[in-house]
């Protein structure tokens, strides 16, 4: 039997259709959700990501407020901009595009974002609340992966999930979300000894390490579910999907798997934040 493709591009389009109705209800009451995006510097990839998020806002009927700062921006200046957005009642979500120039204390700036507007799920407080099972906006990429697994009815309870990667906005929150969904979770990284043997135990394998095809397809056990959160030049991910897809039960394509779900989740969480602010949520 051919492996099931977990089509994030198609699912994100469905989610956007659902969001259009929620935004319509908000706007009928005189409220337009607004996502503020902050781009520091002129990195072309970051500029592309910000533009894609702005386009997604437009598709669902939201508005976006784009803040562009020069590459020589200081931490203090960035913090001042974030404080202004925190205080702006018309802004419901704040996205600080990663990475920022090296002279900026990125963690301090992330943590300065108001928790109620942290729709990208980047604050330490948000991570802590999520890890403890509290209601909070999750880090967008792992939260998008969880939505993908849920909508495709991939069972998690009691399964062994192997997460390869430990970044604060992907690997670590991914592991906590899977743990909260009653999976048994092993966290690995590029320095893990015996990585091949650990990956081979995974019922669900998440590639989130940021190295092209570090996870070999032959390591994936037959019937496992493969989530590839990596994207590298040439359209390859962190997993050797060309081999893995021949014997896994389901996988996310690269591109078109995890990436679209990240943006859809960011937009959905911004709509939720607007609904919460105006007392119109479920």
3-class DSSP state of 242: helix
Q: Which of 7, 117, 118, 120 is catalytic?
A: 120
190-204: string of b/e by CB count within 10 Å (b at 16+)? eebeebeebbeebbb
> What SS3 class is residue 95?
strand
How far is the CA of 205 from the CAs of 139, 173, 219, 281, in angstroms?
A: 19, 15, 10, 34
* C-alpha distances out from residue 214 to 115, 170, 219, 281, Å: 35, 17, 11, 42
Q: Does residue 97 carry a catalytic annotation?
A: yes
Residue in 279, 276, 264, 277 with CA at minimum distance from that of residue 20: 264
Task: Please identify which of the residues 7, 97, 117, 269 carries the catalytic annotation.
Answer: 97
d(CA 75, CA 101): 10
| Radius of gyration for the chain, computed over Cα atoms and rounded to the nearest angstrom | 19
What's the token pair of residue 100? 């920022």
Q: Which residues pair with 215 in a beta bridge?
A: 239
Are 7 and 256 spatial neighbours (Cβ–Cβ below 8 Å)?
yes
Cis peptide before 54 (omega within 30 of 0): no
Bridge-based pairing of strands 34-40 and 63-69 is parallel
Reply yes or no on whether 159 is catalytic.
no
Give backbone dihedrals phi and psi of 14, rounded to 5 degrees, phi first. Answer: -65, -45
Q: Is 53 a catalytic residue?
A: yes
Annotated active-site positions, please? 53, 97, 120
């Amino acid at each position: 039997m051919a492996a099931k493709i977990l089509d994030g591009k198609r699912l994100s389009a469905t989610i956007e259709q659902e969001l259009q109705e929620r935004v319509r209800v908000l706007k009928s009451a005189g409220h337009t959700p607004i996502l503020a995006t902050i781009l520091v510097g002129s990195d072309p990839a970051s500029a592309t990501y910000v533009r894609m998020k702005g386009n997604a806002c437009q598709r669902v009927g939201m508005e976006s407020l784009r803040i562009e700062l020069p590459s020589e921006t200081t931490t203090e200046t960035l913090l001042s901009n974030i404080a202004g957005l925190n205080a702006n009642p018309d802004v419901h979500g704040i996205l600080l595009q990663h990475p920022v120039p090296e002279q900026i204390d990125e963690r301090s700036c992330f943590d300065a974002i108001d928790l109620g507007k942290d729709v990208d799920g980047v604050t330490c407080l948000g991570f802590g609340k999520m890890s403890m099972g509290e209601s909070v906006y999750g880090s967008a990429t792992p939260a998008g992966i969880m939505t993908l697994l849920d909508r495709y009815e991939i069972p998690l309870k009691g399964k062994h999930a192997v997460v390869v990667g430990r970044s604060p906005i992907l690997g670590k929150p991914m592991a906590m979300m899977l743990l909260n969904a009653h999976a048994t979770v092993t966290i690995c990284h590029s320095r893990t000894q015996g990585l091949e043997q650990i990956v081979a135990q995974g019922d669900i394998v998440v590639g989130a390490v940021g190295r092209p095809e570090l996870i070999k397809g032959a390591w994936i056990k037959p019937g496992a579910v493969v989530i590839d959160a990596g994207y590298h030049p040439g359209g390859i991910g962190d997993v050797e999907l060309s081999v893995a897809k021949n014997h896994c039960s389901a996988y996310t394509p690269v591109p078109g798997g995890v990436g679209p779900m990240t943006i859809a989740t960011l937009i959905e969480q911004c709509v939720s934040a607007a609904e919460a602010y105006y007392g119109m949520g479920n």
